[in-house]
């Protein structure tokens, strides 16, 4: 697995959903809700997972786009959003290679998602930095 992002298949995604259901907070759901309260532009959430954070933010009226490397995680996320009448833009991408010429008013990476990026060089590539 060295040099690769962890893979989340269907079973892993369902277990993740059970372990970290929508709205479960490590203090971050409230923090992001407060920090983003005045944001009117688009917000990006890489490594969106099954979406414990995106759903509460979208339900609060924020425009959040999310991506993940796992099609299975995104499928669960879409189901969670649809069950609540939400339809955020969700797509498959990798935070180390993601490139969008559009601008986001904010980018959030809740909890330990950035820890999935292993190694200094990969972490720097993920942030667009070269040093």
For the chain, the domains span 10-127
- State whether the Cα torsion 27-29-32-38 is positive or negative: negative
> pTM above 0.95?
no
Taking only the tens place, the pLDDT of each residue in 10-60 is: 767 666 677 776 777 778 889 999 999 999 999 999 888 878 899 999 999
Which residues sit opposite 64 in a β-bridge?
A: 43
Q: How confident is the model at residue 3 (pLDDT cuts 50, 70, 90)?
A: very low
Helices (H), 26-119: 28-35, 54-59, 71-83
Give per-residue pLDDT as tens, 76-130.
999 989 999 999 999 999 877 888 878 899 999 887 665 565 667 766 666 665 5
Tokens of 70: 């796992």
Q: How far apart are the first and last CA of the chain?
A: 25
Q: What is the pLDDT of residue 94?
A: 86
The CATH topology of domain 10-127 is Rossmann fold (3.40.50)
46 by DSSP, 3-state: which?
Answer: strand
């Amino acid at each position: 697995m060295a040099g690769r992002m962890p893979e989340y298949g269907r079973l892993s995604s369902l277990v993740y959903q059970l372990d970290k259901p929508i709205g479960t907070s490590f203090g971050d759901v409230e923090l992001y809700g407060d920090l983003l309260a005045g944001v009117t532009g688009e917000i990006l959430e890489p490594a969106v997972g099954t979406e414990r954070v995106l759903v509460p933010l979208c339900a609060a009226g924020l425009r959040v786009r999310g991506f993940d490397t796992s099609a299975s995680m995104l499928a669960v996320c879409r189901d969670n959003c649809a069950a609540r009448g939400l339809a955020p833009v969700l797509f498959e991408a990798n935070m180390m290679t993601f490139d969008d010429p559009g601008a986001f008013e904010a980018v959030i990476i809740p909890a330990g998602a950035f820890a999935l990026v292993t190694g200094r060089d990969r972490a720097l590539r993920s942030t667009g930095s070269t040093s």
